[in-house]
């Protein structure tokens, strides 16, 4: 997928919605958030881990707590009714954002990881057994890889991995070999959080469905950054997190086709997911509530809907183009130097991040040096240890971009990397 052309984002206006970007960093860590006027302006390039949250979303959270803070589905008084309506409408809004068929297909979780575990426990433990197969990819996040690995150990199902080639692309021919009539689940990351690879999930889904298998798409790095249509990709399940898409922490989403969710049994029990209880047995509420046991993250769910509004107002096609262009520019600038290795496909074929290493400089040291210049990146294995083993490195530095980042910030990143190179020369 090349970099697309569209009307550019008004980044300077967008930045006004994110007061945190005016922070200066490097001050007293004993007083978080206060900063120091003599320190360095923040350049935030750690968006694949967590994006920043605009005032419009923060205001929704504050309004909930200030105006109608109450539990949902548990009272007939006004506050509870208002909270219930807002929380239910949030499911509708999120369903619309990914083109699902309604709130029944949208389960709110804490994050992508919990969504993966919900399916693995509620579906996997019941359906998998010896002789069955689960197919993953070598670029999976631990949330997918470890979850299905452990379910395989419990059920006796075999777990297999689709190869990643030397340029960081998924070997689709190998996927066709691995996915057979014994395959019950294929779990594939849409956009790799390390390589930036945009995987052909529609093609993988076609292969899986030809063999009667379900497809779980990890959308943690795609839903926040590009238009995602669950019907177009024909995903059976899709998971993503609010905190990577201008929303709050503590809220994630599991999309599932309604007919599959209706057949699945819940794996958490308690309040709100119950229809009727006797001393002998219980029955479950309708979708999606049967998978949302206990008091949910109400404010966060309502705020996630506001984040969807914010991103749709920007235009997800423009969000995608902006990020792709920044990633391509960063790739070109970083690869000007022979001692810099950037992992994954070429710059015009990746999502909005670059993971890289500088010869002779450990990723953790590089991150620390960049922090001295006010630049926030991530360093480590990015929850993809097996992939890093395959790449032949224990860790990498990762810069990831979002709607408020600029080419000038990429230039500052490259300049700081040059300074680190000279320091370790």
Please check whether residue 319 is in contact with residue 308, taking contact to mean a CB–CB distance below 8 angstroms: no
Q: How many CB atoms lie within 10 A of CB 99?
A: 14
Cα 116 to chain center, whole Å?
12
Half-sphere exposure of 205 (CA within 13 A, CB side): 19
- Residue 36 tokens read as 């120091």
pLDDT of 211 reads: 98
Rounded CA gap, 270 and 400, in Å? 39
Residue 363 phi, psi dihedral angles, 5° rounding: -55, -35
DSSP string, 140-178: --HHHHHHHHHHHHHH--EEEEE-B-TTS-B-HHHHHHH
Rounded CA gap, 127 and 352, in Å? 36
pLDDT of 1 reads: 37
The reply to whether 57-313 shares the fold of 11-50+315-423 is no
Q: Which residues are catalytic?
A: 383
C-alpha distance across the termini of the chain, in Å: 37
- Residue 116 tokens read as 């993966």
> Topology of 57-313 in CATH?
3.40.640
pLDDT of 34 reads: 59
pLDDT of 115 reads: 98
pLDDT of 30 reads: 56
Query: How confident is the chain (425 residues) per 10-residue block, as mean pLDDT?
Result: 65 98 76 60 98 98 98 94 98 98 98 98 98 98 98 98 97 98 98 98 98 98 98 98 98 98 96 95 97 97 98 98 97 95 93 97 96 96 98 98 98 96 84
pLDDT of 424 reads: 86
pLDDT of 63 reads: 98
Distances in Å between the Cα of 281 and the Cα atoms of 275, 277, 284, 334, 391 are: 11, 6, 10, 61, 52
pLDDT of 422 reads: 87
Q: How many CB atoms lie within 10 A of CB 67?
A: 10
Classify 11-50+315-423 by CATH class: alpha beta
Predicted TM-score of the model (pTM): 0.95
Please check whether residue 135 is in contact with residue 160, taking contact to mean a CB–CB distance below 8 angstroms: yes
Q: What is the DSSP letter of 122?
A: I
Instruction: Name the residue ranges covered by the structural domains of the chain.
Output: 11-50+315-423, 57-313
pLDDT of 2 reads: 41
- Helix (H) / strand (E) element for 25: namely strand 24-25
pLDDT of 6 reads: 62
């Amino acid at each position: 997928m090349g970099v697309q052309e569209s009307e550019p984002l008004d980044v300077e206006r967008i930045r006004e919605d994110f007061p945190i970007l005016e922070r200066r960093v490097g001050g007293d860590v004993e007083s978080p958030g206060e900063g120091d006027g003599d320190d360095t302006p923040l350049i935030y390039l750690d968006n694949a881990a967590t994006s920043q949250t605009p005032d419009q979303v923060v205001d929704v959270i504050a309004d909930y707590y200030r105006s109608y803070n109450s539990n949902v589905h548990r009272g007939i008084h006004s506050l509870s009714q208002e909270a219930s309506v807002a929380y239910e409408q949030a499911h509708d809004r999120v369903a619309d954002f990914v083109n699902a068929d309604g709130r029944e297909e949208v389960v709110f979780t804490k994050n992508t990881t919990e969504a993966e575990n919900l399916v693995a426990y509620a579906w996997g433990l019941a359906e998998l057994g010896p002789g069955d197969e689960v197919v993953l990819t070598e670029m999976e996040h631990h949330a997918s890889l470890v979850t299905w690995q452990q379910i395989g150990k419990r059920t006796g199902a075999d777990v297999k991995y689709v190869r990643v080639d030397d340029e960081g692309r998924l070997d689709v021919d190998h996927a066709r070999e691995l996915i057979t009539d014994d395959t019950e689940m294929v779990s594939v990351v849409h956009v790799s959080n390390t390589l930036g690879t945009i995987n052909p999930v529609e093609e993988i889904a076609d292969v899986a469905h030809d063999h009667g298998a379900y497809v779980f798409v990890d959308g943690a790095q795609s839903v926040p950054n590009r238009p995602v249509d669950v019907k177009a990709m024909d995903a059976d399940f899709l998971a993503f997190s609010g905190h990577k898409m201008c929303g709050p922490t503590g809220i994630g989403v599991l999309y599932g086709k309604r007919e599959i969710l209706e057949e699945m049994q819940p794996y958490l029990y308690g309040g709100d997911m119950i229809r009727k209880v006797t001393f002998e047995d219980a029955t479950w509420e309708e979708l999606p509530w049967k998978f949302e046991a206990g008091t949910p993250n109400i404010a966060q769910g309502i705020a996630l809907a506001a984040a969807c509004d914010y991103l749709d107002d920007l235009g997800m096609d423009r969000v995608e183009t902006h990020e792709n262009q920044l990633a391509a520019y960063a790739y070109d600038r970083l690869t000007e130097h022979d001692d810099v290795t950037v992992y994954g496909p070429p710059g015009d074929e990746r999502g909005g991040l670059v993971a890289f290493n500088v010869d002779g400089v450990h990723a953790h040291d590089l991150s620390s040096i960049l922090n001295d210049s006010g630049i926030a990146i991530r360093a480590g294995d990015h929850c993809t240890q097996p992939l890093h083993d395959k790449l032949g490195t224990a860790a990498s530095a990762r810069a990831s971009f979002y709607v408020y980042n600029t080419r000038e910030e990429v230039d500052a990143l490259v300049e700081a990397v040059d300074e680190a190179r000279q320091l370790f020369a």
